[in-house]
Amino acid sequence: MTPLVLFLYSQGSQFDQTHLLTIAICLLCIVLIPFFGQKLSKEHQHNAIVGIVMFAIIQEIIDYSNRIVMRDLNWVEDLPFHICNYVFYIGLASIWTKKQFLFEITYLLGMGAAFITILTPEFKMLNEIDYILFFVYHALIVVFALWGIFVDGMRPRKYSVLKVYSFLWIMIIPVGLICWISGGNYMFLMEPPEVSNPLVFGEWPWYIINISIIGLILMCLAYTPFLIVKTESK
């Protein structure tokens, strides 16, 4: 497949030419948006946030409109209860309100989840629109997190990893109930994702425990740079 497959989509595979190009574009946007954001005046930063939020909302409208065109919406697939769904909406609220805990969730939980999803997606997209918006969606999560760090100057606080990890496990309870009622697989609580990822292994329920432990490790790694800087500044 050639780079033009981004616009002439057919089901791809992990790390093929199209996927690698997509990753490169995501990384470019993830780096450039916060980079240029920090160079803007406060007024222009606010205007940029308005633009980012509007763009995020519009892509959500396009996403669900595309699903309606391609197939009927259903309880099994279309409720916004995956981890990245939570973090996406929390990230939107974070970049708009600049609330500390919302930022911590977006950064500590979203960075790892979104990056892993970009690198090891489930290739079940409906069409080229779904393909593009899938990666836009997850790249935006990382943009929200890095905007908080590099533009708004926010930092995760002491014990923020514990708080965010507790929040994650609290989310599992209602989402598990929703999965049981709807027959869905939100947060992949019923069966593992169909991805080629060495971090996802084991049968139910052990893969959930494995993923949660790996998630905690990723949160600790995300917090480590700030811990090092804080220690060196003393």
Domain that holds residue 219: 3-232
Q: What is the DSSP string of the chain?
A: --GGGGTS-----TTSHHHHHHHHHHHHHHHHHHHHHTTS-HHHHHHHHHHHHHHHHHHHHHHHHHHHHHS---TTT-SS-SHHHHHHHHHHHHHHH--HHHHHIIIIIIHHHHHHHHHS-----SSHHHHHHHHHHHHHHHHHHHHHHHTS---PPTTHHHHHHHHHHHHHHHHHHHHHHH---GGG-SS--S---TT--SSTTHHHHHHHHHHHHHHHHHHHHHHHHHHHT-
pTM value is: 0.91
Query: How many domains does the structure of the chain reveal?
Result: 1
- For 69-98, what is the mean pLDDT? 94
Considering the chain, what percentage of its residues have pLDDT values greater than 70?
Answer: 93
**Res. 3 pLDDT band, cuts 50 70 90:** very low
